[in-house]
A and B are shown apart, each in its own frame.
Chain A
């Protein structure tokens, strides 16, 4: 069974610090990886995707992928109160579907 694991949190980070969110997955052959942000009661919105080993940066966000360790992470630099949300990791296992983790709730403390 294809699985995606995340720590449910809550993860509390001071404003201005770096927030680090982690995700592990079960299939070494996984092809692409997504981070979605979801505010309470709202729909998920894509903030990053990555498919090659290494880092991918977009503004304050960096996604890091290590396929050998089956590990993908999201770093948020200069954390802002507006970053407080649940972050969902999703993995494309090549079976025409995305599999989502249960999400990590992040709280930025002013």
Chain B
């Protein structure tokens, strides 16, 4: 089984709908991240969490919210989806004990289309 899983893998929705993307990990890592990827813009950090009680905004958090339900679960919500949130979304994890190196492990991604 994959160490970092994301559901759904693909989603098409309409403007104004509420959407939740879920991420689960079995790596035992403390740190979890949400990124979006757009062509030509690379990976941009939306939110990150270093433990269940620690949530931080990334560079593009407007229009998004997150919930860290447990060490292994980190969800991203779009309260009212808009077309420019159409993108590929990745969840990632990293281990605090290796913080100097900060290697991140990525889930398979969710392709979200907002019509």
Residues of chain A touching chain B, judged by Cβ–Cβ distance below 8 Å, are: 8, 31-32, 34, 41-46, 49, 51, 88, 90, 92, 96-98, 100-103
Report which residue of B43, B105, B107, B111 has the largest number of chain A beta carbons within 10 angstroms of its beta carbon: B43
A-contacting 9-mer, from B11-19, B66-74, B79-87, B95-103: B95-103
Range for the number of chain B residues in contact with chain A:
20 to 34
Give the complex CA separation of A39 and B41 in angstroms. 16
Known A-B contacts A42-B108, A44-B106, A45-B106; A88 and B101 likewise in contact (beta carbons under 8 Å)? no
**Chain A contacts for B109, CB-based, 8 A:** 41-43
Give the complex CA separation of A100 and B90 in angstroms. 13
Give the complex CA separation of A31 and B101 in angstroms. 8
Name 6 extra pairs, CB < 8 A, besides A44-B90, A46-B103: A31-B100, A42-B108, A42-B109, A46-B105, A49-B103, A88-B43
Main secondary structure of the interface of A (DSSP, over half): loop
Q: Which of B40, B48, B90, B111 contacts A97 (CB 8 A)?
A: B48
Give the complex CA separation of A30 and B104 in angstroms. 17
B6 to chain A, nearest CB (A): 9
Is B64 among interface residues, defined by CB-CB distance under 8 A? no
**Chain B contacts for A103, CB-based, 8 A:** 42
Report which residue of A31, A46, A98 has the largest number of chain B beta carbons within 10 angstroms of its beta carbon: A98
Q: Which of B40, B42, B102, B108 contacts A92 (CB 8 A)?
A: B102
Is B58 among interface residues, defined by CB-CB distance under 8 A? yes
Give the complex CA separation of A24 and B25 in angstroms. 32
A35 to chain B, nearest CB (A): 11
Q: Which of A42, A43, A45, A49 contacts B101 (CB 8 A)?
A: A49
A42 to chain B, nearest CB (A): 7
- Whether B103 and A100, one on each chain, are in contact in the complex, defined by CB atoms closer than 8 angstroms, is no
Is B45 among interface residues, defined by CB-CB distance under 8 A? yes
Q: Which of B40, B101, B106, B111 contacts A32 (CB 8 A)?
A: B101
**Chain A contacts for B50, CB-based, 8 A:** 96
Closest 3 CB pairs of A and B: A102-B42, A43-B106, A100-B43
